[in-house]
Amino acid sequence: MSLAELACWLERNHATAPEAYINTVKESSTILDITEEIATGAGKNLCELRKTAPDFGMIDAIIYTQAASSGIQLLTGDPHFKKLANVEFVE
């Protein structure tokens, strides 16, 4: 999950006290910075991923690249990730 996606979801759903939700996630998570290496790797990965999933988004490519580069398994319910390596897909 990215903080941007969480903020968007909170805004779209008219959450009360969205800052509290964001702070809770930040306190219980490891926040990873997007480095130049991650950004350029995500761009390359996005080109590959769009060969089989034309609507694969840039933020998803960044998240996937960050997880892979950090050796972290990605936990998601987003169908774009369903068949990718190092992903635990939840339905």
Q: Per residue in 34-47, pLDDT tens? A: 999 999 999 999 99
Q: Same domain, yes or no, for 26 and 50?
A: no
Alpha-helical runs (H) found in 13-88: 18-27, 36-49, 58-70
pLDDT at res. 5 = 82
Is pLDDT at 10 greater than 80 in this prediction?
yes
Is pLDDT at 91 greater than 90 in this prediction?
no
**What amino acid is encoded at 85 in this protein?**
A
Is pLDDT at 1 greater than 70 in this prediction?
no
Q: Same domain, yes or no, for 40 and 9?
A: no
The whole domain housing 8 covers 1-31
* pTM, entire model: 0.74
In total, how many domains does the chain have? 2
Contacts with 36 (C-beta within 8 Å, 6 or more apart), sequence order: none
**What amino acid is encoded at 66 in this protein?**
Q
- 51-86: pLDDT as tens digits: 999 999 999 999 999 999 999 888 888 898 988 999
